[in-house]
């Protein structure tokens, strides 16, 4: 995340980050549930899944935003675009995170 979704971003880096996050999501799906009781490793897995989901949301929004503004700086889009003076909305659907304009 620091390398590809850090302060200076590019399409290539954001796409690479989304690829890594996709692999991580697949790895998290295959882990078994605990046999019984409260399992600290199970809680850590839920934390990891949530952090991965937030990271994916950040990367998807950054990839879609074709401008630089504030802390979001794209090397491939160095200027502000007035058309992007709006919010982005994400939805978590069964098929994954989807960006809505």
Structure token pair of residue 19: 């690829």
Domain map of the chain by residue range?
8-100
**pLDDT by residue (tens digit) across 50-84?**
999 999 999 999 999 999 999 899 999 999 999 99
d(CA 45, CA 29): 10
Concatenated DSSP letters for 4-49?
TSSSEE-HHHHHHHHHHHHHHHHHHHTPPPPSSS--HHHHHHHHHH
Architecture of the structural domain at 8-100: Up-down Bundle (1.20)
* Local confidence band at 16 (pLDDT 50, 70, 90 cut-offs): very high
**pLDDT by residue (tens digit) across 43-52?**
888 898 899 9
Structure token pair of residue 51: 């952090």
Q: What is the pTM of this model?
A: 0.85
């Amino acid at each position: 995340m620091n390398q590809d979704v850090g302060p200076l971003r590019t399409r290539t880096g954001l796409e690479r980050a989304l690829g890594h996050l996709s692999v991580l999501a697949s790895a998290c799906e295959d882990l078994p549930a605990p046999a019984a009781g409260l399992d600290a490793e199970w809680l850590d897995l839920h934390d990891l899944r949530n952090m991965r989901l937030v990271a994916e949301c950040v990367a998807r929004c950054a990839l879609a935003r074709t401008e630089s503004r504030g802390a979001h700086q794209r090397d491939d889009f160095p200027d502000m675009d007035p058309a992007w003076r709006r919010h982005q909305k994400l939805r978590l659907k069964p098929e994954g995170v989807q960006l809505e304009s």
